[in-house]
Structure 1
Amino acid sequence: MARRSDNVTKGIERAPGRSLFYAMGYTKEELERPLIGVVSAHSDIVPGHADLDKVTEAVKAGVRMAGGTPIMVPSIGVCDGIAMGHIGMKYSLPSRELIADSVETMANAHQFDGLVLVPNCDKIVPGMLMGALRLDIPTVVCSGGPMMAGLVNGEETSLSKMFEAVGARKAGLIDDAGLLEFEQNVCPGCGSCSGMYTANSMNCLCEAIGIALPGNGTIPAVTGRRMMLAKHAGMAVMEMVEKNITARQIVNERSIRNALTCDMALGCSTNTVLHLLAIAHEAGVELDLKMFNEVSEKTPNLCHLAPAGPTHMNDLDQAGGIPAVMAELAKGGLLDTAVMTVNGKTLGENIEGKKIRNDAIRTLDHPFMEAGGLAVLWGNIAQEGCVVKQSAVAPEMLQHTGPARVYDGEEEAIADIYAGKINPGDVVVIRYEGPKGGPGMREMLNPTSALAGMNLDKSVALITDGRFSGASRGASIGHACPEAAMGGNIGLVEEGDIIEIDIPNKSVNAKVSEEEFQDRRAKFVPHEPKIRHGWLYRYSKMVAPANQGAVMLED
């Protein structure tokens, strides 16, 4: 059977290319085997990526054991925690597109027969998968695994508590010594930060889709099991190459719906909405925001990991991981168990006999919530939708009415929050932070964590056309669409307007008449993009709205 790599290794005409392989020390025997790209996000700037050199070597060992030739190529990756709260965060979501483009570029330019993707954090996971779906070649995702939970004052903790500790320090609830205690203990080592934040959400959902092996989402980074998983990922891609099983055969309408169901059961990050929309786009699958609510209404929320609750990824792993969650969902007929996965087995075969082993996972008859972890809201300040992690909202904030406190950017808002100028009952509105207006759709973890740290998360709501970290909790409503920079009504809200939020009934509205909005629109002049040079400016011109996954428009 002809291989893609024949285009670079076979025939008289390819002798110059072979000479370049030989210059790197590849042997004739290696060039006669399938060439497998191992895309590694290893770097010295992201805790989740610091150990990916070891994971990458384990993947390469698995490829060799199964008769292939592994070839490592690099990927960039932004650490959202380090980039948070300054211009760096503008690059985080857009970097997803660069990563997808680079995977497409390297795999097509060098004609790899298959790919093993070795990401771990936030935008890197969906970015790599998006690139692989464009190529539609045999692909396995193998993440680096989650960080262990930290320990502060005898309690398990994680990065979300670190950001909240800043708010507590600003409010005088802890002192400098207390802040330092958090700094030095919340993140004990390598791995993706230990709550159900965006990185772990996407690694779990890759497992639910079937494009990653069982255990991908929850096996801790520091364990031998993670290295074993990586070797098996290398072996698995070789079997896919042999059987010509490609990425789009795994990632399809049925498996994406399974991922949506697991998303709701797990209580994943709101960023999964953006990423699943983008992944579906690259897979040629129709997906819209209405389907998120449709699935959420049928799917109980079975997990309350940080920031929604006190458990962490190591607890979920010990409870049986994603296979145990899916086995429980399957009992209620909520999953399509006939879909194929990258280990050659169906989903049903992978979860057969899996059981819940501790209370980090609840059963269908005793869920945390009858509905799923995420909800999409609509209203006159989000006519095309907005998203909230309802599983992380205090019960008293599921319905809230209060005056708007309006800010044209995160910096203005955080300054007032830190200065104690936000009052119980307020609704903080942060705009011009969308994909175009930011540009780059920054995460708002600093404002949400400051409110939580100041004990305002049960009395103050926040709505933005930007987005939130998976570590955010409270009545934090993001992705308001259309965004202010595109003329959305969120840009017309004025200080003191009364905002009504009703999460159970999926609505968010300003008590402003349509006639008043029309009057305001007649005088409205959208702000110019905050960055007018470099690739972020190009991104602002080409990016689709949040309700389409903030993908790059091709036309």
Structure 2
Amino acid sequence: MCDTPNMRKHSSEVVDGIEAAPARAMLRAVGFTDEDFNKPQIGIASTWAMVTPCNMHINKLADEAEKGANAAGGKAVVFNTITISDGIANGTVGMKYSLVSREIIADSIEAVAGCEGFDGIVAIGGCDKNMPACIMGMARLNRPSIFVYGGTIKPGAGHTDIISVFEAVGQHAKGELNAIQVKQIEEVAIPGPGSCGGMYTANTMASAIEALGMSLPGSSAQNAVSDEKMSDCYRAGQQVLELLKKDIKPSDIMTKKAFENSIRVVIALGGSTNAVLHFLAMAHTVGVDLTLDDFVRLGETTPVLADLRPSGKYMMSELVAIGGIQPLMKRMLAQGLLHGDCLTVTGKTLAENLADVADYPEGQDIIRDFDKPIKADSHLIVLKGNLAPEGSMAKITGKEGLFFQGNARVYASEEDALQGILNGEVVAKDVIVIRYEGPKGGPGMREMLSPTSAVMGKGLGKDVALITDGRFSGGSHGFVVGHITPEAAEGGPIALIENGDVITIDAVTREISVNVSDEDMAKRRAHWTAPAPKYTRGVLAKYAKTVSSASEGAVTDK
């Protein structure tokens, strides 16, 4: 963590004494009065931008958080950080910047809050990367902090969402939809503000952060446009002053036990594989020892209970309507799956927060009972073997099957793979291999949403598998394995696979292997040469030089 003595600059250091007159003059210009100089300063980190519906409303939410902090006796200062849109960038070169943006956002929150000397922080995020980034930025400075989720989008007409559009492209390639029908889906799927509507990465991370204890109860399960979300922001602004009085910091909340709670909740919800990457990064930032082995250990006794998209049928807004994740956590606590003594941003323990939570209404079938799970253990499967000696991540709910064996169909980029799928080159019993898309090799570890959606749209979801050193969107489903490490750019085994090699994926034994002997792999490695860097200057070049392995969270300050 960055919370060292020379970093502990707070607002009183900025505005006290005659020598602080220049600072006070600057602050008067942005609206401070004499009275404000004696109040705690609360930074409100807004990820507002018009580049994506996920964040287009967050400026209004930041205003509510500002009001709450001011009403509680603080002086709030709103500042912005960047965000990007995965949904727009997916399938393009622009997606290389997506995971990179997580580091940029965390860096910027740390830089602004550290420089300005804020006493507390409220950060509001609404899309896949800015949410873990907010947590990382706040954790680095380790000052009283609360995260607020921007909220989920409402369903489009016909129960559609952004994944409906991606899959329509594949259905068009198969001849099931014409161009007019694709356009009709495109026009209605995204009706307004909010994050993608299933248990994709945004809603996964919102749920994870609430379960971690860094959001107010209920924050993860509210519609983006709602009175509940406005109230959530106002109360967060108020509550950060209480955290300041009690000196409760992120490191007091984000303990190993809290991460275990969060991981279990994400498993129960059937959440995105991206959560694994972000969990590892957040834990690293706050100094908690978390590894892929922890996901294996916790996954053995945690069932998948939520029938949510992409693998299920319901949307997040429908989970919101029956009570969100609080009743689920109360059930899990009663089953002994959660640590009830973990501190949260309410100043109370998780068990205290859940004490008066009502159960789900009778007759709902979004959240299953423990005796009728969708899957008895985790869908987030860590696979190792001669193809991924340092590990890989699969999202297997059981609906895809638990075993796949097929012939490698190798592509050196996402674009090449997408064309191979759409033009019929990929056939049943193929294992699509997409390499040189890892953190260093991409660089940026792009999501393979376009290829996986094309596979589903072409009707090949149960007939082919896809493996990559890149990663997947929370909207991806099918028999897919990502985060393969070491990645191809570092000479990992995935760089040595050839067309026709037989690849085996076994979710029961947790193995991923290729039927090539060690001797033959060594011969191939002797002829392999590392590719030249794709970028030699700018943020992608810096990222490629500093980023760690996906098995370590793809952080840049390891």
Q: Does 1:138 align with 2:141?
A: no
TM-score by length of 2: 0.97
Q: Does 1:92 align with 2:98?
A: yes
What letter matches 2:189 in structure 1? Answer: V
1:316, distance to aligned residue in structure 2 (A)? 1.2
Question: Pick from 396, 399, 409: which aligns with 1:394?
Answer: 399
Match of 2:4 in 1: none
CA-to-aligned-CA distance 1:354-382 (integer Å, 9 cap, x gap)? 31232211121221110123111111111
Write the mapping of 1:300-449 to structure 2, written as runs, cut at 5 A: 300-354=303-357, 355-357=359-361, 358-391=364-397, 394-396=399-401, 398-449=402-453
Match of 1:180 in 2: 183
Q: Does 1:538 align with 2:542?
A: yes
CA-to-aligned-CA distance 1:211-261 (integer Å, 9 cap, x gap)? 001111111011111101111111110100111111111111110110011
Measure, in 1, the Cα distance between the counterparts of 2:249 and 2:293: 29
What letter matches 1:159 in structure 2? Answer: I
- Contact 1:91–1:536 at 8 Å: present in 2 too? yes
Measure, in 1, the Cα distance between the counterparts of 2:556 and 2:205: 20
- Contact 2:248–2:347 at 8 Å: present in 1 too? no
CA-to-aligned-CA distance 1:115-138 (integer Å, 9 cap, x gap)? 000111011001111011110000
Match of 1:292 in 2: 295
Measure, in 1, the Cα distance between the counterparts of 2:477 and 2:314: 14
Measure, in 2, the Cα distance between the counterparts of 1:380 and 1:159: 36
- Contact 1:328–1:363 at 8 Å: present in 2 too? no
Measure, in 2, the Cα distance between the counterparts of 1:473 and 1:372: 15
TM-score by length of 1: 0.97
Q: Does 1:148 align with 2:151?
A: no
Unmatched segments (≥5 aa) in structure 1: none
User: The residue matched to 2:209 in structure 1 has which SS?
Assistant: helix
1:394, distance to aligned residue in structure 2 (A)? 2.9
User: The residue matched to 1:509 in structure 2 has which SS?
Assistant: strand
- Contact 2:400–2:478 at 8 Å: present in 1 too? no
Stretch deviating more after TM superposition (167-176 or 429-438)? 167-176
User: The residue matched to 2:149 in structure 1 has which SS?
Assistant: coil
Measure, in 2, the Cα distance between the counterparts of 1:255 and 1:450: 37
Match of 2:506 in 1: 502
Match of 1:486 in 2: 490
Measure, in 1, the Cα distance between the counterparts of 2:388 and 2:17: 58
Question: Pick from 197, 203, 206: which aligns with 1:203?
Answer: 206
- Contact 2:42–2:118 at 8 Å: present in 1 too? yes
1:3, distance to aligned residue in structure 2 (A)? 8.4
Stretch deviating more after TM superposition (297-306 or 107-116)? 297-306
User: The residue matched to 1:121 in structure 2 has which SS?
Assistant: coil
Question: Pick from 78, 81, 88: which aligns with 1:82?
Answer: 88
Aligned residues: 548
CA-to-aligned-CA distance 1:412-468 (integer Å, 9 cap, x gap)? 111111101110110000000000000000000000000000110111000000000
Measure, in 2, the Cα distance between the counterparts of 1:477 and 1:150: 29
Match of 2:162 in 1: 159
- Contact 2:223–2:317 at 8 Å: present in 1 too? yes
Match of 1:519 in 2: 523
Match of 2:53 in 1: 47
Measure, in 2, the Cα distance between the counterparts of 1:400 and 1:67: 59
Measure, in 2, the Cα distance between the counterparts of 1:187 and 1:309: 19
Measure, in 1, the Cα distance between the counterparts of 2:225 and 2:210: 19
Match of 1:194 in 2: 197
Question: Pick from 269, 277, 302: which aligns with 2:280?
Answer: 277
Measure, in 2, the Cα distance between the counterparts of 1:319 and 1:248: 32
Q: Does 1:224 align with 2:224?
A: no
Write the mapping of 1:100-119 to structure 2, written as runs, cut at 5 A: 100-119=106-125
Match of 1:266 in 2: 269
Match of 1:62 in 2: 68
What letter matches 2:52 in structure 1? Answer: V
- Contact 1:263–1:373 at 8 Å: present in 2 too? no
Unmatched segments (≥5 aa) in structure 2: 1-7
What letter matches 1:305 in structure 2? Answer: L
- Contact 1:160–1:306 at 8 Å: present in 2 too? no
- Contact 2:44–2:78 at 8 Å: present in 1 too? yes
CA-to-aligned-CA distance 1:468-515 (integer Å, 9 cap, x gap)? 000000011100000000110000000000001111221110011111
What letter matches 1:496 in structure 2? Answer: G
Measure, in 2, the Cα distance between the counterparts of 1:151 and 1:473: 22
User: The residue matched to 1:540 in structure 2 has which SS?
Assistant: helix
Match of 2:554 in 1: 550
User: The residue matched to 1:321 in structure 2 has which SS?
Assistant: coil
User: The residue matched to 1:463 in structure 2 has which SS?
Assistant: strand
- Contact 2:9–2:115 at 8 Å: present in 1 too? no
Measure, in 2, the Cα distance between the counterparts of 1:532 and 1:443: 22
Measure, in 1, the Cα distance between the counterparts of 2:546 and 2:256: 26
CA-to-aligned-CA distance 1:14-72 (integer Å, 9 cap, x gap)? 11100111122211111211000000011111101100011111111110111111100
Measure, in 2, the Cα distance between the counterparts of 1:344 and 1:394: 41
Match of 1:467 in 2: 471
What letter matches 2:310 in structure 1? Answer: P
Question: Pick from 448, 454, 470: which aligns with 1:450?
Answer: 454
User: The residue matched to 1:429 in structure 2 has which SS?
Assistant: strand
Q: Does 1:477 align with 2:475?
A: no
Measure, in 2, the Cα distance between the counterparts of 1:427 and 1:528: 27
1:353, distance to aligned residue in structure 2 (A)? 3.7
Question: Pick from 72, 96, 107: which aligns with 2:78?
Answer: 72
What letter matches 1:384 in structure 2? Answer: E
- Contact 1:329–1:364 at 8 Å: present in 2 too? no
- Contact 2:105–2:137 at 8 Å: present in 1 too? yes
Match of 2:22 in 1: 16
1:188, distance to aligned residue in structure 2 (A)? 1.3
Measure, in 2, the Cα distance between the counterparts of 1:24 and 1:353: 43
Measure, in 1, the Cα distance between the counterparts of 2:119 and 2:424: 58
- Contact 2:9–2:114 at 8 Å: present in 1 too? no
User: The residue matched to 2:102 in structure 1 has which SS?
Assistant: helix
Measure, in 1, the Cα distance between the counterparts of 2:325 and 2:20: 45
Measure, in 2, the Cα distance between the counterparts of 1:296 and 1:43: 36
